[in-house]
Structure 1
Amino acid sequence: MWKWLHPYANPENSYRLAGKLIPWFATFAATLITIGTIWGLGFAPTDYQQGDSFRIVYIHVPAASLSMMIYVSMAIASFAGLVWQFKQSGWAASAMAPIGAVFTAIALLTGSIWGKPMWGTWWVWDARLTSELILLFLYLGVISLYNAIEDKTVAARAAGILTLVGVVNIPIIKWSVDWWNSLHQPSTIKITEESTMASEMLYPLLTNMLGFSLLFTTLTLIRFRNEILARSAMRPWVKELAQKQLEK
């Protein structure tokens, strides 16, 4: 069933496939983010309670959602690397980590900006905010651990274990507003129930969420290719590739 994946266990094949996919993902990401942002900021109706300040949702929600999604993706990649000894899984996880940290920082920053007019303060030790801050520290811990160990095989294993331990924080972030009294508003986008956001506001938000997801994919592929080059620097195909670049 999974035989079609076997050729991509070869770093050279993975490198070339990622190179072919990057322009497509980048183009769709730029298109969707442009459409979603213009649609949300310029054409979505004003919220009857929050006024125009709600429009930060078109950046905050995609960033916050991705902060969790990326960490789960890292955990899956780390699990695959630890259990099946698939070395490229560790490279993929290390490629995702800085991107996830940036999206988490954006979520915290935009959340503070949004919280000031709504709550009257930039920060409260709310369950959702606190667990999101812990997520940022987890990302930074994984990045630091991976870079602190010279042997990257050992580094990937250690960072993978930390990633798997930290994944327990994800359901806390997700359901903290339901488990505890919270200033943070409940989720407005629901899968099993009808969303509480008006469709005129929801559709540009979903467009941006998809666009930001494709942006994450693009950046991950770029960083993944760099990881492959760094870990395969002595391979003949990498030397040949470098020679071709020098000749251009």
Structure 2
Amino acid sequence: MSAVYDWLLASASSHEPVQGVLLGLNWTLAESAGGCGFAFSPRQVPRTLGWAGTLAGRPAGELRPWLRSWDAAEAAVGLAVLNAGINARSPCLGEAMPLRGAAPGHLRVFEHFRAQLDGQRVAVIGHYPGLERLWHDLDYQCLERNPQDGDLPDSAAEFVLPQADWVFVTASSLANQTLPRLLELSRQARVVLMGPSLPWLEGWRDFGVDYLAGVRVLDAAAAYRVVAEGGGTRLFAGPVEYALLALNP
């Protein structure tokens, strides 16, 4: 597991201070190195966080290692700070193709790949609201840590992923420490690593990732407001847009 995290932390070289961190209901946002980075917020956060009010002004290099923490709030902060530094300067993001279409913004990745999935065994890691309507004609399996109707528990990954032809993996699995195992189980599949939590790095291909589908920030101030006001999929309605880069076409 440590290889992925060692590589990610070594890829972030910015020592600039963190301007601010916002731990929202759905997204965690960090501002650093002239950019903003996201992570999916933990579902449960203690009422007392010993570091609350102390993060702004601290060096980014001091907070990035929190990504390794088993404390969900610390891991979200670490990932958001990591993304703020990497994604602000990423050549990969500059090469990525914006995804525009008829589907709601948070579902554009699934809309883009739909035509390639007929007759394929498809697994999606993470519950995406509205996907069941967009892919109503496709037989796929959704694995989710907090399962909703029709989802499988994330423990089913050990059985489902080795049989899949395509796997769509939420990058938020970085913060809960499950991504390395998910990628290992998906070695035989075409893998799309996706979501606002994605660090835009070409080296993902060395871990079996075929496509990067992360976000490009269009309006940082609007993104801050959406996160501050508890927004989830609303983030994709103007503040950010999905973009796609093929690593192994």
How would you bin the TM-score normalised by the shorter chain? under 0.3
Q: Which has the larger radius of gyration?
A: 1
Q: TM-score, normalised by structure 2?
A: 0.26
Q: TM-score, normalised by structure 1?
A: 0.26
Between structures 1 and 2, the one with greater strand share: 2
